[in-house]
Homo-oligomer: A and B are copies of this chain.
Amino acid sequence: MRMLRGMCLWLLAAMVLAPVARAEDGYRLWLRYDALSAQRAGAVAQRAASITGPDRPSAVVASAISELQRGLGGMLAREIPAGTQISAGTVILANPSVQARLGIDLPLSDLGAEGYLLRSMTLDGKPVTVVAANGDAGLLYGAFALLEHIQRGLPIDEMNMRSAPKLQLRVLDHWDNLDGSVERGYAGQSIWNWWTLPEHVDPRLVDYARANASIGINGAVLNNVNASALSLTPRYIAKAAAIADTLRPWGMKVYLSARFSAPIELGGLDTADPLDPEVAAWWKAKADEIYASIPDFGGFLVKANSEGQPGPQDYHRSHAEGANMLAAAVAPHGGIVMWRAFVYSAEDATDRAKQAYAEFKPLDGTFADNVLLQVKNGPIDFQPREPFHPLFGAMPETPLMMEFQITKEYLGQATHLVYLGPLWEEVLEADTRRHGEGATVAKVIEGRYGAHKLTGMAGVANIGDDRDWTGSTFNQANWFAFGRMAWNPQSSARNIAVEWAELTFGPRDDVTRTVLDMMMTSREAVVNYMTPLGLAHQMATGHHYGPGPWVSDLGRPEWNPAYYNRADKDGIGFDRTASGSNAIAQYAPPVAKEFGDLAAVPDRDLLWFHHLAWDYRMRSGETLWQSLLDHYQTGVEQVQAMERQWQSLKGDIDPRRFAKTADFLRIQEKEAKWWRDASVLYWESVSGKRAPEGYPEPAHDLDYYKALRFPNAPGH
């Protein structure tokens, strides 16, 4: 249509070509293995240019070898031989028998089955790099650690690193349906090609496994916790087995979400009562059937008696009775059961935040040894900010498995740039005060305070079949950070961000500094423009996209944002102190004291625990009303600052990833303003207060925002 002037277009055409040809489309994630500079390649080749290892490598060790060949091959731009020879620059994958053969004696005793040690050595006068571990998985993780180290441009001459996971189960929960849709998925459809499995396994699944192995994730729950019984039919078990065969060489096990009523739906029984012998027998036979196809099947994840899902309470049985029945079915095979503590029953509670604790705390000590209770980080539901869940520390006889949500259901979904590391770190660092001071949530889930032996962390995956896996470049950081936090719950979110940025954009200090600053700001930004000062669950109905603080007409009180904000002409916030729901009593006394005390409670949790007058005077001297307004506007400004920062990287980032992030930041700015304007207008309408002169004018009136509908919002 439009004629462009003169020769400039000729130049344009020539310039456009190059980036298209080598488009960085995000598929490679943090495993990019681009060729190093000649100087760096020379240095690396001194220590890592060939590979040797066990005489008879297992499939997992073969994966380590292939990854080293791929990674070193890419970075050194040459073929990497693998064989029995040791020469200068050989990487030695050294399990105990290799060490014995070579006469190396490295301290492996505290590394467990999955830990590793990287050590620069000289063998027979030859400089080599040893990746040592007790087990195959350790060799695999060590190989990835070595590749990461090289990608990040760190010195390779005097390596001496060791690392071992602090949690045993490091699991992604895929809320993937069998029709290919992903509940709360914002990155396309499920990566499981259910329809063409088991005959055809999408080669992408190998790359999925590689990515997970590179960050220590060792399990995947394949299907949605709102489970279809179909996933337990022979047809789908065969499909799951094909996935298991693909993930196994990368150290990963598969798990399935189990629908509690499957004995009725598939087995034709009249009941799913966990104490009914026929029901137990049905599950036992089903477990046997699964293990016949998947010998290392991990076990079941169960969402029971929550949001309409069937469960043991349908038969007046406890969660423990339900869990233990399933646990007995998988126990002979070494399987486990992950039982979710996210309950949201058919009865209205006084305070939804209290329900999980009320139901599960009394069951402490009654679960079978191979059951973990999977507890969300906060007592409500994956909000931009919640105080830690009061169950942490409160069930010493029960292994509590952390459940984080990697997909950003409540944090901007597809497009907002939000690095979740700080959110998770904040929870993991929280001191439960249940076992003296310093009994952080991290230490609780590490199992330091109980005799039970299982530990774990689950993350609700943000992965789909979008080319870049997670819908955006920065969403990849959340997958990465989850793996790191699951490996070591005491990891630093900031350090993880640095690692990720260097791997993703190349180790360039100026880029890393800017990206790091954006990431570390981003979570506070989303809290500010969505739900500042302890507000929660203000999102629109169903899809949770955009603001809906006015919604108060849904069937049950706790479905409504108004239930959570409790805003009226006198004030705002949820009184969870003794004068209100007394949810604070579920915390250890010193914690409850802090949360209940207006002089001590952190501002960030203020309205989570307290209902306060609009003119309540904050410790800062501002009124609550002023502070709320400030937070919304600060959130918008933080997004605008991220946009400027990203634009400052133009030319430093490849054009394709640059453009997509720039586009998404523009959407985020628009939506941050939408959140600010709609929220402030609503608070004005209930409080009778007005934002002061000079506060940004909303683009529309409140009725406009209330009338917005998004019938095709993704993930719902």
A residues adjacent to B (C-beta < 8 A): 1-7, 9-10, 12-14, 16-17, 20-21, 23, 25, 55-59, 62, 65-66, 69-70, 73-74, 79, 81-84, 178-180, 188-189, 194-196, 199-201, 203-204, 230, 248, 295-296, 414-415, 465, 467, 656, 659-660, 663-664, 666-667, 670, 711-714
Contacts and interface: CB of A to CB of B under 8 A. Distances in A.
A686 to B, nearest CB: 29
Contact of A4 (B13, B57, B79): B57
A572 to B, nearest CB: 32
25 contacts: A1-B58, A1-B248, A4-B58, A4-B59, A5-B56, A6-B55, A6-B56, A10-B57, A10-B82, A13-B66, A14-B79, A16-B66, A17-B66, A17-B69, A17-B73, A21-B70, A179-B711, A179-B712, A194-B712, A196-B667, A199-B663, A199-B670, A201-B663, A203-B656, A230-B712
A236 to B, nearest CB: 9
Nearest to A16: B66
B70 A20 contact: yes
A165 B528 CA distance: 58
Contacts of A10: 57, 65, 82-83
Contacts of A59: 1-4
Given A178-B712, A179-B712, A62 B196 contact: no
A13 B82 contact: yes
Contacts of A200: 415, 660, 663-664, 667
B178 A57 contact: no
Counting every copy of the chain, the complex holds: 2
Nearest to A186: B195
A456 B191 CA distance: 38
Given A56-B3, A58-B3, A465-B188, A69 B14 contact: yes
B82 A14 contact: yes
Contacts of A81: 14
Contacts of A666: 199
A199 B414 CA distance: 13
A4 B17 CA distance: 46
Contact of A414 (B69, B196, B248, B713): B196
B711 A230 contact: yes
Given A56-B4, A65-B10, A21 B74 contact: yes
Given A6-B55, A14-B81, A196-B414, A180 B69 contact: no
Given A62-B9, A199-B663, A180 B714 contact: yes
A2 B467 CA distance: 32
Given A16-B66, A203-B656, 8 more contacts: A1-B58, A9-B56, A10-B65, A10-B83, A25-B203, A180-B712, A195-B713, A196-B664
